Amino acid sequence: MRLRAFGVTCWRSAAWLLVLLLAGPAAAWGPDGHRLVAELAEARLAPAARVQLRRLLALEPGATLVSVSTWADEVRDPATASWHYLNFKRAAGCAYDADQQCVAGNCVVAALARQTSLLASAAAAVDRLQALKFVVHLAADVHQPLHAGFADDRGGNLWQLQAFGRGSNLHGLWDSGLIGNLSGGLPALRLAALQAAPAADDRGRLDDVAAAAAHWAEESCRVVATDGFYPAGHELPEAYAARWQPVLTQRLAQAGRRLAQLLNSALAPH
């Protein structure tokens, strides 16, 4: 099996690097994961939503839902860094409390709700296009388990480990390490995600995005809280990838279905 190195982001300044380290996770799913979520969502768009999507993307010739799915990471700055995640207190469990995990609305749950509302509004097309870029990205972020992990290790960023022959951390492993080292690669992951059975709450329209996003975050947290999620001894066991691949596939598949729900609700309202 061919190994692929985890992506490394080069920051413009030491000050900005410090901000990110203190703020939380640096990326989510990696580009491959984000593009896959966008691809899965696009296949489920209602015709009316697809028309509106094309009109917005036409403002940037050549842009597609897949190509804009990584934009929010590419332009991340101190003002929007906290929009990509939230942190639960380990001792308090995985119950979302906006006053605790989303102070002043600065977390992925509130940001996703705000940007979906803007996308659905009568705002200028250029503003709605930017909102679309955030929605497609943040909907994937909230499904990456460690983007709703625990504060004491900053969503797995401080949990160092050796994985696939190199040093990494648990967050990086779930961002891109598992995806990059799956047997069969992206084609196999795409097929598995397409075939994944939907959950009961993956159907229909979304009338309360904040409540839905909070539920998705709680789901992610419960994954992180599952026994065995943290590898023992900081060395990735050989069986880890096989055990957690179904969960990885499920979270990507859910992100794609739910992103489609968000876009259908915002772009093709009744």
| Phi–psi pair at 159, nearest 5 degrees | -90, 95
E strand spans, the chain: 160-163, 166-169
Mean pLDDT for 88-103 is: 95
Mean pLDDT for 100-129 is: 97
User: Helix, strand, or coil here: 166?
Assistant: strand
Per-residue pLDDT at 29: 80
Q: Which long-range contacts (CB under 8 A, 24 or more apart) does 6-15 make?
A: 6/30, 6/166, 6/168, 6/172, 6/175, 6/176, 6/177, 6/180, 7/31, 7/175, 7/176
Per-residue pLDDT at 197: 73
Residue 5 has pLDDT above 70, yes or no: no
Give the torsion sign (CA, 79, 83, 87, 92). Answer: positive
- Measured in whole angstroms, how far is the alpha carbon of residue 65 from the centre of its chain? 15
Residue 13 has pLDDT above 70, yes or no: no
Lowest mean pLDDT among 61-65, 89-93, 105-109, 263-267: 89-93
- Residue predicted with more confidence, 262 or 187: 262
Share of the chain above pLDDT 70, in %: 86
Give the torsion sign (CA, 255, 256, 261, 263). Answer: positive
Domain 14-267: homologous superfamily in CATH: P1 Nuclease (1.10.575.10)
Residue 210, Cβ neighbours under 10 Å: how many? 19
Average pLDDT, the chain: 87
* pLDDT band (50, 70, 90) for residue 184: confident
Domain borders along the chain are 14-267
Measured CA to CA, the distance from residue 147 to residue 150 in angstroms comes to 9
All residues at 6 or more sequence positions from 81 whose CB lies less than 8 Å from its CB, including other chains: 19, 20, 23, 24
User: Helix, strand, or coil here: 169?
Assistant: strand
Residue 161 has pLDDT above 80, yes or no: yes
User: Helix, strand, or coil here: 79?
Assistant: coil
This prediction has a pTM of 0.87
Share of the chain above pLDDT 90, in %: 73
| Phi–psi pair at 166, nearest 5 degrees | -150, 160
Lowest mean pLDDT among 24-33, 64-73, 115-124, 226-235: 24-33
* pLDDT band (50, 70, 90) for residue 20: very low
Per-residue pLDDT at 238: 87
Per-residue pLDDT at 269: 73
Mean pLDDT for 1-10 is: 36
